[in-house]
Amino acid sequence: MYLYNSATHKKEEFKTHTPGRVEMYTCGPTVYHFAHIGNLRSYIMEDVLEKYLRFAGYDVNRVMNITDVGHLSSDADTGEDKMLKGAKRENKTVMDIAKFYTDAFFDDCRKLNIKTPDVVQPATGCIDEYIKIISKLVDTGYAYLAGGNVYFDSSKLERYYIFNDHDEDDLAVGVREGVEEDSNKRNKNDFVLWFTKSKFEDQALKWDSPWGVGYPGWHIECSGISMKYNGEYLDLHCGGVDNAFPHHTNEIAQSESYLGHPWCPQWFHVHHLNDPAGKMSKSKGEFLTVSLLEEKGYDPLAYRWFCLQSHYRKTLVFTWENLDNAAAAYTKLLNRVAALKPEGDVDQAVFGEYREKFLQQVGNDLNTSMAVTAVFDALKAKTNDATKLAVIGEFDKVLSMSLLEKAAALREKAAQAVQSGGGDYVITGEGDPEIDAKVLARYEAKKAKNFAEADRIRDELKRQGIEVTDVKGGAAWKRL
């Protein structure tokens, strides 16, 4: 497999510290509000990546944090704590907010067929790990106390900017938008490892530490959680592209300074989902959620299909028209799969040929658009339906679009509909169970002498480009 590495800015052969084993870490949500569909694009693509690695034969240990403390409204250690902000907004405790939105996040993941990682760890559950790391960084001179807080000393590093090279003035304190001057810092790139009560007197969650009562900074949690569950050598770190700086940059700085050796060689960043006005953000007020898509009548998997049609390193623009197109394409695909008859033996040679081709195509920097193409190629393959269904089912281990399950439900629905119309009424067409059901509904309306309803269904089908012809013992339909 070849993956683009954000740390080297090039596509590289994927290698692991232990052959056949992948220690994988993905940055989880800050659970102060619902996840918007832009956030969830990253989790969809990370899910596809994990499933592809398993499909390719790797043993994967995927770890994810839940940020329930320490993430301030600016990623640069300034502003209000996001969890406290959420608690104030809803007049609840921070822990109540954390539980509610953690549950909501995983409910969204379930609807999108996103697998729960092997380890899910709330940040508040690893305070001892953070204190251990920070203590060593202080003892070895990589961190210092100032104003009651503990800061990482970026001047101790030979190279701080890992993902992008910057001019020295690019991120000067007080120059970059959203960064306020912190007079406690020795250097403009220093960042907080531990806050004490000197930072926020009303902070809801606090713990004892060698530096006073306080709470961890946002960046230290991912290093601590990963080291606890992935070990000292991480193979693959994932997240949204907006996490690259400062969050992932700071993770590398503190982790490698603590460990004394390289930490994670491969970095996987998913690019933004934008609306026509720009990047999606909770700060704009109203934002798009999976629940909102459902309220508008969309299957959440239509959104997953929308994401799969684009490469993870390309900015994706969301419009309702684009989602409509994806939903229509997904429905059409399900109907085509439902038209396949699950009969006969699987041609293992053809099955193996298509599986290997899929491995090669998708293994080229997680090319999900080629994965989508592979499904349609399988439908057109010169082989029997049983083999086509087996191939599509194999591909869906990675795509997770519920293709066989939903197609089987459509097939069953159509069979029940035809049976309810009487065994003597035969519908012939192009193998679309939904169209078959409408043609049958028209027949039943005519049989009940409800000619207005029969005409309405005929007109609806006509608008869809479907021509229905009554024949002896049934009906035949075709697309115009």
User: Same domain for 128 and 211?
Assistant: yes
pLDDT tens column, 28-65? 999 999 999 999 999 999 999 999 999 999 999 999 99
Q: Residue 287: inside a domain, yes or no?
A: no
Q: Looking at the whole model, is its pTM more than 0.95?
A: no
Same domain, 112 and 190: yes
Q: Is residue 411 in some structural domain?
A: no
152 domain-assigned: yes
pLDDT at residue 5 tops 90: yes
Q: Are 8 and 123 within one domain?
A: yes
Is residue 284 included in any domain, yes or no?
Answer: no
Q: Which of 374, 404, 434 is where one domain is finished?
A: 404
What was the pLDDT predicted at 167?
Answer: 40
Both 338 and 232 in a single domain?
A: no
Residue 349 maps to a domain: yes
**Do 72 and 132 share a domain, yes or no?**
yes
Number of domains the chain is built from: 3
Lowest-pLDDT range of 70-84, 329-343, 402-416, 449-463 = 70-84
Of the listed ranges 94-103, 162-171, 252-261, 449-458, the least confidently predicted one is 162-171
Co-location of 253 and 308 in the same domain: no
Are 472 and 397 in the same domain?
no
Domain shared by 389 and 453, yes or no: no
Q: Judge if 8 and 117 occupy the same domain.
A: yes
Per-residue pLDDT tens over the stretch 249-275: 999 999 999 999 999 999 999 999 998
Do both 399 and 435 map to the same domain? no
Q: Which of 236, 270, 304 is the last residue of a domain?
A: 270
* Average pLDDT of the chain to the nearest whole number: 89
pLDDT tens per residue across span 80-108: 678 778 888 888 888 899 999 999 999 99
What local confidence, expressed as pLDDT, does residue 415 receive? 67
- pLDDT band at residue 178 under the 50/70/90 scheme: very low
- Mean of pLDDT values over 341-370: 96
Residue range(s) defining the domain that contains residue 437 = 421-479
Query: Among 87-101, 231-245, 463-477, where is mean pLDDT lowest?
Result: 463-477
pLDDT higher than threshold 60 for residue 168: no
Is residue 375 located within the same domain as residue 454?
Answer: no
The whole-angstrom separation of Cα 219 and Cα 113 is 29
For residue 393, give the CATH number of its domain.
Answer: 1.20.120.1910
Residue 262 counted as domain residue: yes
Q: What is the CATH number of the domain that holds 7?
A: 3.40.50.620
Domain boundary pick from 364, 379, 404? 404
Q: Does any domain span residue 6? A: yes
Co-location of 231 and 354 in the same domain: no
Is position 474 within any domain?
Answer: yes
